Amino acid sequence: MPYEDYQRKWIVKDSNVPECTLDDLVTFTVIVSCGGRPFTIGEYVPNTNTIAKAGEYEIHLVEGSPRTITFTQLQGGQIAGSWTAEDNGPWPGDG
């Protein structure tokens, strides 16, 4: 499923589990890991190309050649560190 599909408004229309009832709004969270070590769960910030966990980190996708992501670790509202990674595709589904 393309990432854009996760940004759509998803409403539960059928469910047989108590955690998810009819007409609930479905949201997606993102687990970011580096070298297999996960950070806490963050959320996509609509229309920003950003995934964030308030007060802990922000990840920004920069469209360009190559595409990059910049991870900024926050501590007490201040930048505590960062890293940048490049897209090394192609990936399944790329044109």
pLDDT number for residue 16: 86
Is 43 within 8 Å of 26 (Cβ atoms)? no
Among 32-36, 73-77, 90-94, name the one with the lowest average pLDDT.
90-94
Q: Give tens-digit pLDDT for 47-75.
A: 888 888 888 888 888 887 877 888 888 88
Strand segments, DSSP code E, in the chain are 10-11, 25-26, 29-30, 33-34, 37-38, 42-45, 50-53, 57-62, 68-75, 78-86
Q: d(Cα 43, Cα 26) in Å, to the nearest integer?
A: 13
Domain locations along the chain:
23-95
Is 28 within 8 Å of 44 (Cβ atoms)? yes
Token pair in block for residue 15: 């469910």
Instruction: Judge if pTM exceeds 0.85.
Output: no
